[in-house]
A and B are shown apart, each in its own frame.
Chain A
Amino acid sequence: MSGLAWNIGYGHFLVLAAVLFLIGMAGVLVRRNALIILMSVELMLNAANVTLLAFSRMWGDLSAHTFALIVIGVAAAEAAVGLAIVVAVFRGRHNVEVDRLNTLRH
């Protein structure tokens, strides 16, 4: 047990990424505020990045760094468009609770 606590290996980083991903997923599933859902998605993307970088070190392959950089770019674009949608929805309906956005339901 003390070996697990003091001897940090790749497994620690991977499990940390898994925990972060699941917290993000729980946020997406449980919360109703669209902003929190967007932030949880960002958290999941970050967890994926941690996994990428851990595997990059494990296999000695730098291309995962490039990929992580591209993931960061995608996350930035996603945040911009997502927040624009949130603002547009708020302008029309004066709330951003995803449960109440059910006009398209029939």
Chain B
Amino acid sequence: MSRALIILTAALGIAVSGTPALAQTPPPEQCPAQIQAGAAAALPGSRLIDCRREKSDTRKIDGQVLAGTILGFHARVALADGRIVMLELSPDGKVVGMTDGHGDLVGSSGKGTALLFWAFALASVVGALFVVTRRNLIAAVMGMVGSFLGISAIYMMLYAQFLAVIQMLVYAGAIMVLFVFVVMILNRPEDEPVAPTGRVGQVLGGVAILYLVGRLVLILVQVEPPNPVVAMAAPLATAEGYDWGSLRAVGTNLFGPGLFPFEAISIMLLIAVVGAIAIARPLHAEDDAPAKVRSGGRVP
């Protein structure tokens, strides 16, 4: 008890030295002393607002009740300059993470993260440029695959693990294979130049695209995150562990609020499958003959 008091007074002393006006408000009752001490040690001059105990669910398995264990504490702390951050603390008061109110770590992304971002951004942009500029269709498709893989890594950096995997499976796997099949059925390289004819058209198109790039980038650069101290970092742990963007989290959302779009898209996919077969089927048997002759003449 006396030890706890000493820690408490020490924490208060730090708080007083930082912000004298705030020292009158007593620290909240429900915060254990080690949490207050840990928060005060991590952020001198800050004030503890409240804290919340993170407990795993109490479960019942085969009639036996498994009591939840304390995973740690989340403490809201007001900094000296008025910002409010969330501290994530282990049960013994060690600071595990610091996030802003929206669950983003405060601080800057590491250099490794930055290097990875630039590498994958470069891969996706170069792949996209390949698609737009190559005359060879297979080269364009391969550039598209590279672009999709880069984008899936970008998804991963946004903590959308499930969608990153889906991106690889659906796009780089399924859709691109479909494209390759069609390219091989068509078997005709594009003969004509990429750019529109005429110097005036080129200049106009270039200026228009540059203008659009500039406008979009200018708008997006102005987007303010909810909290200016936000940077890219890991989301907070929930009672189920780190559950942001996982299959479970996305599934819970998909089959809750997203149930209607989910059902609608299943009908849409069915219609698309039937429609694709109906469109691609030859109307008459003899319609198919010239195409066969033609591709037969091209393929040795």
A contacts, CB < 8 Å to B: 5-27, 29-33, 35-36, 38-40, 42-43, 46, 49-50, 53-54, 56-60, 62-63, 65-70, 72-81, 83-88, 90-92, 94-97
Contact = CB atoms under 8 A, between A and B. Distances in A.
Contacts of A67: 258, 261
A66 B230 CA distance: 24
Interface residues on B, range: 35 or more
Contact of A15 (B124, B212, B221, B261): B221
Given A50-B154, A57-B158, A80-B276, A69 B102 contact: no
A69 B212 contact: no
Interface of B: 102-104, 108-109, 111, 113-114, 117-118, 121, 124-125, 128-129, 131-132, 137, 140-141, 144, 147-148, 151, 154-155, 157-160, 162-163, 166-167, 170-171, 174-175, 178-179, 182-183, 185-186, 188, 190, 192, 194-196, 205, 209, 212-213, 216-217, 220-221, 223, 225-226, 230-232, 235, 244-245, 249-250, 253-254, 257-258, 261-262, 265, 268-269, 271-273, 275-277, 279-280, 282, 287-288, 290-291, 294
A7 B114 contact: yes
Nearest to A65: B250
A85 to B, nearest CB: 6
Given A11-B221, A81-B275, A84-B275, 14 more contacts: A9-B109, A10-B230, A35-B140, A35-B182, A36-B132, A39-B131, A50-B151, A57-B235, A65-B163, A65-B245, A73-B269, A83-B280, A91-B288, A91-B291
Contact of B232 (A8, A17, A85, A91): A8
Indicate the member of B104, B114, B186, B231 with the most A CB atoms within 10 Å: B186
Contacts of A94: 188, 290-291, 294
